[in-house]
């Protein structure tokens, strides 16, 4: 469970970072409505992690096992994205 959660947490964080950099490149980082897609990216990452965990267990997982996988995935992705944002703002953002 932990290994799959960590793997998909990294992928999800990478997706969030790429999405942010793409929005910054296009100049749309200030459009609040587009931040909704961060939730969509997170939901896709968690769903893929739970699906991979279910496949690894031949379709036999319990509620709390799936919940744990989702929590590990989303927590890791959130922490990594937050660390990236702090580094980005401190190092590259001209407004600060």
What is the pLDDT averaged over residues 56-78?
94
Confidence of residue 93 (pLDDT cuts 50, 70, 90): confident
Closest CA to 68 of 84, 83, 58, 57: 57
What integer best gives the mean pLDDT of the chain?
Answer: 93
Alpha helices for 1-96 (secondary structure H): 2-26, 36-56, 63-92
Sign of CA dihedral 36, 40, 46, 47: positive
* 45-62 pLDDT, tens digit each: 999 999 999 999 998 899
What is the pLDDT averaged over residues 61-85?
95
Distance CA 94, CA 62 (A): 48
Residue 90 makes CB contacts below 8 A (sequence gap 6+) with 96
The pLDDT value given to residue 95: 65
pTM here is 0.90
């Amino acid at each position: 469970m932990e290994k799959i959660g960590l793997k998909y947490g990294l992928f999800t964080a990478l997706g969030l970072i790429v999405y942010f950099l793409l929005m910054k490149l296009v100049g749309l980082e200030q459009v609040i409505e587009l931040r909704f897609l961060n939730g969509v990216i997170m939901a896709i990452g968690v769903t893929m992690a739970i699906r991979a965990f279910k496949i690894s267990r031949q379709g036999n997982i319990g509620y709390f096992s799936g919940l744990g996988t989702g929590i590990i995935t989303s927590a890791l992705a959130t922490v990594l994205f937050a660390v990236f944002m702090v580094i980005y703002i401190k190092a590259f953002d001209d407004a600060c």
